[in-house]
């Protein structure tokens, strides 16, 4: 009896050992061998190809099979850079009023008698980020077709749609005067940016300059030299530390060169140029303007209107990663969400937070600072990005607008020079990029070789080599597609 008990004790050990080892050699319950293999491959990729000293958060979801494909630190908070634009855009496109265009309008209050408008003119800003030189000429043309050439009253700009904060929270002061950081206002002309084009002359001579839009609001200092390497590289700047608008163009011009610079005080740039063009068309009016909110009443008449479709704004947000367009969309989202005109970026972000909650996540777990991702204060996760992409995919009206706007791997937008022909990702990845110093992200959709559609987000952090981060992201996409 004693011997039998000992035998059971010693025979039990190998059985326990075998049962312990079984989970290590068989796929986990509910996980296919293919998914298990993919996870192993991606784990290996992260271990050996993630840029040294950096970290990453990855989330991938099979939309066709409705299951998680891969998560690696998916809930880790990361700075999203321009992938933040996905949250802004998807939230805005999901609104009932999503298709309402951006409008800039001109109204007058008073009466027209003979050749004179006895009343005031109001230019009402709707934060149209695509309002350009041609649009301004169209607006002016509509005004001058009315039966008056004299204005006995004042001309006002209405910028009451948004508060007076012209930069987003956490934007860097020393990013000005770069064109990617405009001075935000409901009245924007050419994105608040001047484009300077230089044409070479005879060697050693000053280059010829052309500026768009043409306006006396800024001045020009031209110290360029034609085909003179000692003059240094071509450069366009302004006296931005003084909030001045004296454009300084310098350097060697050995061929056609183009530079851009933002202009201080976008609303003044708009109104100054508007008045200047009215007078050039023969309208006699005061040479100055001021700002006042327009209040529509029984004597108000709309003189002119210019509209831009939401799809045009979204296309530029995604394809070109346009910061102004994203902030304009956020402001309009705030107006729709709050049901009024006097809004701030915080109002638009409240709408984004509400959608975060509806998707089953805790809004307070994340930090949202702006709509475009320029701010270092933004902190979200790859799983949250994928949740928004899944939501967009579930809404045909949202997905169609978003998908057609996303850059296509190796084809256009910010992915034009990535995912070259011959790689699995070529034409199979439609995604938003996001990058600034030490941050590089990619999020969107891809089509796998098995025909499945996948939503994914890759958030590389603390990597100084953007090239290495992009190489890693492209490898992850190739692996998901295979």
Could you tell me where the beta strands, DSSP code E, fall in 14-54? none
Is a pLDDT exceeding 80 seen at residue 430?
yes
**Could you give the domains of the chain?**
33-98+311-481 (3.40.710.10), 102-165+266-308 (3.50.80.20), 189-262 (no CATH)
pLDDT at 34: 61
Separation CA 458–CA 272 (nearest Å): 45
Q: Is the dihedral of CA 225, 226, 227, 233 positive or negative?
A: positive
Is a pLDDT exceeding 50 seen at residue 14?
no
**Banded pLDDT at 230 (limits 50, 70, 90):** very high
The rounded percent of the chain whose pLDDT value lies above 90 is 90
**Banded pLDDT at 403 (limits 50, 70, 90):** very high
| Structure-block tokens of residue 466 | 């953007």
Is a pLDDT exceeding 90 seen at residue 148?
yes
pLDDT, average across residues 133-156: 96
Distance (Å) of CA 320 to CA 127, 268, 317, 382: 19, 26, 6, 22
> pTM for this structure?
0.90
Comparing C-alpha atoms, which of 464, 125, 48 is closest to residue 328? 125
DSSP run (H or E) holding 36: helix 33-49
Per-residue model confidence as pLDDT tens digits over 68-86: 999 999 999 999 999 999 9
Is a pLDDT exceeding 80 seen at residue 23?
no
Is a pLDDT exceeding 50 seen at residue 210?
yes
**Banded pLDDT at 36 (limits 50, 70, 90):** confident
Distance (Å) of CA 5 to CA 8, 16, 19, 101, 456: 5, 17, 21, 84, 57
């Amino acid at each position: 009896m004693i011997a039998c008990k000992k035998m059971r004790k010693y025979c039990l050990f190998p059985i326990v050992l075998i049962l312990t080892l079984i989970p290590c050699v068989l796929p986990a319950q509910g996980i296919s061998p293919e998914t298990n293999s993919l996870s192993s491959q991606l784990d290996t990729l992260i271990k050996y190809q993630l840029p040294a000293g950096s970290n990453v958060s990855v989330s991938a979801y099979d939309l066709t099979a409705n299951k998680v494909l891969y998560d690696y630190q998916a809930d880790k908070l990361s700075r999203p850079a321009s992938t933040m634009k996905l949250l802004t855009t998807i939230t805005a496109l999901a609104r009932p009023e999503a298709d309402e265009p951006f409008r800039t309008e001109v109204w007058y209050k008073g009466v027209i008698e003979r050749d004179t408008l006895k009343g005031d003119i109001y230019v009402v800003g709707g934060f149209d980020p695509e309002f350009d030189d041609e649009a301004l000429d169209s607006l002016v043309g509509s005004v001058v077709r009315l039966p008056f050439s004299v204005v006995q009253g004042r001309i006002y700009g209405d910028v009451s749609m948004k508060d007076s904060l012209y930069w987003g929270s956490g934007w860097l002061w020393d990013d000005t005067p770069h064109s990617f950081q405009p001075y935000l206002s409901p009245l924007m002309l050419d994105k608040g940016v001047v484009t300077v084009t230089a044409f070479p002359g005879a060697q050693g001579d000053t280059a010829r300059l052309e500026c768009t839009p043409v306006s006396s609001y800024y001045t020009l200092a031209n110290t360029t030299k034609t085909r003179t390497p000692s003059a240094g590289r071509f450069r366009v700047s302004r006296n931005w530390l003084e909030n001045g608008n004296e454009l300084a163009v310098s350097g060697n011009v050995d061929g056609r060169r183009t530079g851009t610079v933002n202009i201080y005080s976008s609303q003044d740039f708009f109104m100054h140029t508007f008045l200047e063009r009215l007078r050039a068309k023969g309208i006699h009016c005061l040479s100055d303007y001021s700002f006042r909110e327009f209040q529509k009443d029984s004597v108000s008449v709309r003189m002119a209107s210019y509209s831009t479709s939401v799809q045009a704004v979204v296309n530029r947000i995604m394809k070109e990663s346009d910061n102004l367009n994203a902030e304009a969309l956020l402001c309009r989202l705030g107006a729709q969400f709050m049901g009024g005109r006097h809004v701030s970026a915080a109002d638009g972000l409240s709408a984004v937070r509400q959608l975060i909650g509806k998707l089953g996540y805790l809004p307070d777990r994340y930090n949202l600072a702006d709509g475009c991702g320029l701010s270092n204060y933004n902190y979200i996760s790859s799983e949250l990005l994928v949740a928004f992409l899944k939501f967009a995919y579930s809404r045909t009206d949202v997905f169609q607008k978003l998908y057609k706007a996303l850059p296509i791997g190796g084809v256009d937008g910010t992915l034009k020079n990535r995912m070259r022909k011959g790689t699995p990702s070529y034409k199979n990845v439609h995604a938003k990029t996001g990058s600034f110093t030490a941050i590089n992200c990619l999020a969107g959709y891809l089509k796998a070789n098995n025909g499945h559609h996948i939503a994914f987000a890759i958030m590389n952090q603390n990597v100084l080599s953007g090239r290495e981060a992009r190489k890693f992201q492209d490898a992850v996409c190739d692996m998901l597609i295979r």
